[in-house]
Amino acid sequence: MDVVPDADVEAVEAVDGVFLTQGAVGEETSIQRFEIGPGEAVPEHDHPHEQIGLITAGAVTFVVDGDERVVEAGDTYVIPGDEPHAAENRGDEPAVGYDIFSPPRANPDWGK
């Protein structure tokens, strides 16, 4: 069993006001924590990984194929691989959550 202590990982500011922290990486999946500051956004992007997530604080507005969906604390979601998507925090508090990727998304190029 591999353990990734939270104290041993550092958040990376992927885009202005958006912090991503790589967690454990297995053979089939990986997990990352994210924090999106109020008024900040992740621009539209895609990747081959299926992405399943959980919002733990605040809310995130996802835009997928022009359709806006608000995901709030306690909600879960799934985004198919290769599906272009964007995310924005339109609230007054940080939006925090976790994303699980399959196949694993180890050492991603945060700029893409």
Q: What fold is seen in the domain 16-102?
A: Jelly Rolls (2.60.120)
Tally the residues of the chain. Answer: 112
User: What does pTM read for this prediction?
Assistant: 0.92
The Cα–Cα gap between 102 and 110 comes to: 17
Per residue in 38-81, pLDDT (tens digit) is: 999 999 999 999 999 999 999 999 999 889 999 999 999 999 99
Residues 86-96 have a mean pLDDT of 98
Output the pLDDT for position 112.
43
* 25 pLDDT more than 50: yes
Model confidence at 111, pLDDT cuts 50, 70, 90, reads: low
